[in-house]
Structure 1
Amino acid sequence: MEDDDASERKMRFLFQLRSRGVTDPRVLAAMERIDRGEFVRGQFAERAYDDMPLPIPCGQTISQPSVVGLMTQALETGPRDTVLEVGTGSGYQAAVLSGLVRRVYTVDRHRRLVTEAQALFDRLGLTNITAQVADGSRGLPDQAPFDRILVTAAAEDPPGPLLAQLKIGGIMVVPVGQSDAVQTLIRVRRGEDGFDYDELRQVRFVPLVEGLGQT
């Protein structure tokens, strides 16, 4: 009975994703493999498979699954790509990316979130993710350049240091706008002659904050 419930829950979860525009078969398969329930604890655990953002420690959130899927889809990842994620949070987005690319570097300003996410990656056997405490607005210059960059916090403009760490031909997906208003999800492509910007959809994310957190 438990297996039947889990199977039905997974089918409903994937249906929600498709109905909201997540259509890339590779992204859907990656999200089917990673159980969002592993990343939602405590009183919100029973809502883990609903298409809604949920609170996590340090005043942050785990994004709603359809937004995770749409952002991942917008990255147009390849299996040999190296990706930088800014804003580890629960670790869910990095875990989804880990099934699509060669290497994921994920950074967060909150040590607690990085420690808990790394423990979860280890337990799930996701060996191609490196999580570390860092000021995400500055990226990871020591590991740059990156094929893809995903920012899971809103900036007023795409951060210059992150744009500089994107390879020629690379893609960055970032929410842009005031933190207390609706933001726009932007896809940035770096070409030989500069950057091209596409507006994808309206979103709402926590703000991208410079410096390190206290926890």
Structure 2
Amino acid sequence: HRDRAYVDTPLPILSGQTLSAIHMVMIYISPKCTNPKIGDKVLEVGAGSGYNAAMFAEMVAPEASSNPGHVYASEIIPELAEFAKTNIDKTGYSESVTVLQSDGGLGYPEEAPYDIISVAAASKRVPPPLLKQLKIGGILVLPLGRMFYQELVLIKRESEDEYAEKKMGGVAFVPLTGKYG
């Protein structure tokens, strides 16, 4: 699919999954959405090819940073987790990205809390473990809704038990699998 590398459309990868359209990746890492900063700790749910994790790594752990952040990229499909890890290793991001083969809807409590939790698969509801693993002041972004149409929702954790929600517009993502899929 190299001939379509710069086409702004979802691209097929492995296991019937897709790489998000480039404009969606840019929305996720934009100041109006997650606004990643150097030093942030990010949990990405749905590692896919590893591309989104690499983009977050560019923002939170740039080369020669004195306080680099880290990206934990979770992928439930074993073949895709291996694909993402291979791509991360080949492109030099392995110091700032850890690829996990796990159910991302459960989060990754071992490294919580997170400044940013980015979900690249649609769910009918927000997985409660992700809310619990979000740092106060942190941002969770995910597509909420049914197959073929969802609303991109940004959730900011205001306090221990208060969250503010903002709808960012209509999107279409592959479904989240696992316990909260």
Among 135, 141, 147, the residue aligned to 2:103: 135
Give the structure with higher Rg (CA). 1
**CA deviation after TM superposition for structure 1 residue 181, in Å:** 3.2
Structure showing the higher strand proportion among its residues: 2
Q: Is 1:124 aligned to 2:83, yes or no?
A: no
Matches within 5 A, 1:193-208: 193-208=161-176
Secondary structure at 1:177's aligned position in 2? Answer: strand
Stretches of structure 2 that go unaligned for 5 or more consecutive residues are: 61-68
Amino acid in structure 1 at the alignment position of 2:152: L
How far did 1:108 drift?
0.5
1:174 partnered with 2:133: no
- Paired with 1:185 and 1:159, the residues of 2 have a C-alpha distance of 15
- 1:143 Cα deviation from its structure 2 partner: 1.1
Q: Deviations over 1:155-212 (max 9, x none)?
A: 111111101100000001100001x23100000000125000000011000111115x
Aligned pairs, how many? 167
State the TM-score, normalizing by the size of structure 2. 0.89
Letter of the 1:117 counterpart: A
Per the alignment, residue 36 of structure 2 pairs with 77
2:31 is aligned with 1:97: no
For 1:113-145, what per-residue CA distance to the aligned partner results, in whole angstroms no more than 9, with x for missing partners? 111211111111112000010011101011111
Q: State the SS of the aligned residue for 2:53.
A: helix
Q: Is the 8 A contact 2:122 2:173 kept in 1?
A: yes
Between the aligned partners of 2:89 and 2:148, the Cα distance in structure 1 is 36
Q: What corresponds to 1:18 in structure 2?
A: none
Please state whether the residue corresponding to 2:123 is helix, strand or coil. coil
Q: What secondary structure, in the 3-state scheme, does the structure 2 residue paired with 1:132 have? A: strand
Superposition pairs of residues 1-215 of structure 1, within 5 angstroms: 44-73=1-30, 74-101=33-60, 102-126=69-93, 127-178=95-146, 180-192=147-159, 193-210=161-178
Q: What do residues 69-98 of structure 1 show as CA deviations (whole Å, max 9, x unaligned)?
A: 001111011101000000000111001001
Distance in 2 between the 1:205 and 1:59 partners? Answer: 12
CA distance, structure 1, for counterparts of residue 114 and residue 86 of structure 2: 24
The one-letter code matched in structure 2 to 1:109 is I
Amino acid of the structure 1 residue aligned with 2:41: T
Moved over 4 A (4+): none
Question: What are structure 1's unaligned runs of at least 5 residues?
Answer: 1-43
Higher RCO (C-alpha under 8 Å, 6+ residues apart): 2
Determine the C-alpha separation between the residues in 1 that align with 2:110 and 2:7: 38
Distance 1:105 1:148 in 2: 10
Which has the larger helix fraction? 1
The residue type equivalent to 1:134 in the other structure is S
TM-score (norm 1): 0.76
Once residues 164 and 89 of structure 2 are traced to their aligned partners in structure 1, the CA distance between those partners, rounded to angstroms, is 37
- SS where residue 112 of structure 1 aligns? helix
SS at structure 2 position matched to 1:113: helix
